[in-house]
Structure 1
Amino acid sequence: MTVTKITFFDIPTVLPVPTSPNTWKVRLALNYKGLCYQTRWVETTDIESVSKSLGIPPTGTSPSGVPTYTLPALIDNTFSPPAILSDSTPIIEYLERRYPDPDPTHVLLPSGSRALQALFEYHVATSITAHLLPVMVMHMYSKKTPRDRAHFRQRMEAAFGKKLEDIELKGRDREEAWKRIEGSFDLLSKLLEKNVHGIYFMGENLSLADCMLGGLMLTLRYDSPDEAWLKVVSWNNGRWARYMAALEKWAVVH
């Protein structure tokens, strides 16, 4: 691994692995690039206070205009002044600039691909991620630490105006939601079939798109191994099981 002084901020769970798709997205990139880093675990309840204390910038604003803080975040003390970043894609863009690979094919953001990568991110976010909460909410809740469960329940119930257990879809509504998500994976599978060689979205080389989708699928695997993961690996003739097997060597926690 390339020796650095990188601290990567992730969210702990009751499992030995994280389950956030956005932190997994960056972790996959760090591991793929072979960078040495340490993980600092920060419960969701503490993200804002820790971020403010370390000068980590907010990633957005609430409807009332108050800054919001989320993970992943990264502090790189390898150079002076240190780089302090938040939000997954800007972090990966920084890593690409600061730690370029001498092999031009071994890059996550190939020259001229940024617009297509952004379009892919938008598609996955709007056609898959946006539809997961109503079928994943209790799976997500059960994997959080005790403190974060209370925090998650409070936020979700305030946002939806109902008990956490009532946010989750059941019966036919749940089946229809999973069918819509399956349809989005069907489209991705058809697009991948256009590649003559390679299992990834850029063919034989990993890219930002794979870090995003791979991070999301790791979330499904760990948050919902007995429902979401079983469904996904059964779709498209096992394509997604093979896809994740190819990513496995980078899906490790340091």
Structure 2
Amino acid sequence: MTATNILFLDIPTALPVPFSPNTWKVRLALNYKKLTYVTKWVETTSIASVCKSLGIPPTSTLPDGTPKYTLPALIDNTASPSALLSDSTPIIEYLERTYPDPDSSRALCAPASRALHALFEYHVAHSITAQLLPVMVMHMHDKKTPQDRIHFRKRIEAAFGKKLEDLELRGKEREAYWKKIEDAFDLLATFMQAGGTAGELFTGSNLSLADCILGGLLLTFRYTSPDEAWIKISAWNDGKWIRYMSALEEWTTVV
């Protein structure tokens, strides 16, 4: 392992593992690059206060103009002055610049590929992530820590004007949403097959930013909804996503 002094901020859950797709995205990159890091676990209710206290910048601005703080975040004390970063893609781009692999074929996101990766992330966000709340809201709620369940319920119910239980679709409506998600995975599988690379990942056997994005999302499915989402996904595309997750397994260590 490369000796570094990296602090990685992630969100604890009621499980032995995290399940945020965005924090998993960075954790996969850290593990792939074999960087030594320590995780600081920060509940959702404490993200803003902890980030402010550490000098980590906000990721965006709320409608009323106040800064919005989210995780993942990262502090690299190897740099002088220390690098303080937030938001998953900028963190990964920083790691790529600061800790490049001697073998350029192992690059997570070469500069020339960043526009394509941005397009891929947009596609996943709109065709998959945007469809999840009506079928995953209670799964996500139930796997959070007790304190974060309260915060999650208040935030989502305020945004939608409904109780969480009423946001959750049932019956044919639920299956229609799952069909939209399945169609999105069908398209991904078709494109990956067209690439003709050896191996299950987007670029064969090496990790890419696209794999961090999709892998983080699949880990969320596997951990938050093993009895519904992961069962469905495991059956799609002739077991493609089981093989895909097996290819990611070596980079899923939680420290």
Query: For the superposition of Structure 1 and Structure 2, which TM-score range results when normalised by the shorter chain?
Result: over 0.9
The one-letter amino acid of 2:238's match is N
How far apart are 1:79 and its partner, in Å?
1.9
The residue aligned with 2:67 is: 67
The residue aligned with 2:150 is: 150
Matches of 1:166 and 1:66, distance apart in 2: 30
Query: Normalised by the size of structure 1, how large is the TM-score?
Result: 0.98
Name the SS of the counterpart of 1:105 in structure 2.
Answer: helix
How far apart are 1:17 and its partner, in Å?
0.2
State yes or no: 1:81 paired with 2:75.
Answer: no
For residues 101-250 of structure 1, the aligned pairs below 5 Å read: 101-198=101-198, 199-250=200-251
Q: Retained in 1: the 8 A contact 2:197–2:203? A: no
Matches of 2:225 and 2:112, distance apart in 1: 36
How far apart are 1:110 and its partner, in Å?
2.6
The residue aligned with 1:45 is: 45
For structure 2, list consecutive stretches of 5 or more residues without a partner in the other structure: none
The one-letter amino acid of 1:89's match is T
Q: Retained in 2: the 8 A contact 1:233–1:240? A: yes
Name the SS of the counterpart of 1:100 in structure 2.
Answer: coil
Aligned residues: percent identity? 69
Q: Cα deviations across residues 163-206 of structure 1 (Å, max 9, x unaligned)?
A: 11111111111000000000000000000111222221123321
Matches of 1:137 and 1:203, distance apart in 2: 33
Matches of 2:164 and 2:195, distance apart in 1: 42
Q: Retained in 2: the 8 A contact 1:5–1:37? A: yes
Matches of 1:120 and 1:73, distance apart in 2: 22
Name the SS of the counterpart of 1:194 in structure 2.
Answer: helix
The one-letter amino acid of 2:3's match is V
The residue aligned with 2:31 is: 31
Q: Retained in 1: the 8 A contact 2:47–2:69? A: yes
The one-letter amino acid of 2:107's match is V
Name the SS of the counterpart of 2:65 in structure 1.
Answer: coil
Name the SS of the counterpart of 2:218 in structure 1.
Answer: helix
The residue aligned with 2:254 is: 253
Query: Normalised by the size of structure 2, how large is the TM-score?
Result: 0.98
Name the SS of the counterpart of 1:211 in structure 2.
Answer: helix
Q: Cα deviations across residues 118-168 of structure 1 (Å, max 9, x unaligned)?
A: 111110011101111111000000010010000001001100101111111
Q: Retained in 2: the 8 A contact 1:107–1:207? A: yes
Matches of 1:197 and 1:47, distance apart in 2: 40
The one-letter amino acid of 1:252's match is T
For structure 1, list consecutive stretches of 5 or more residues without a partner in the other structure: none
Moved more, 59-68 or 228-237: 59-68
How far apart are 1:228 and its partner, in Å?
0.4
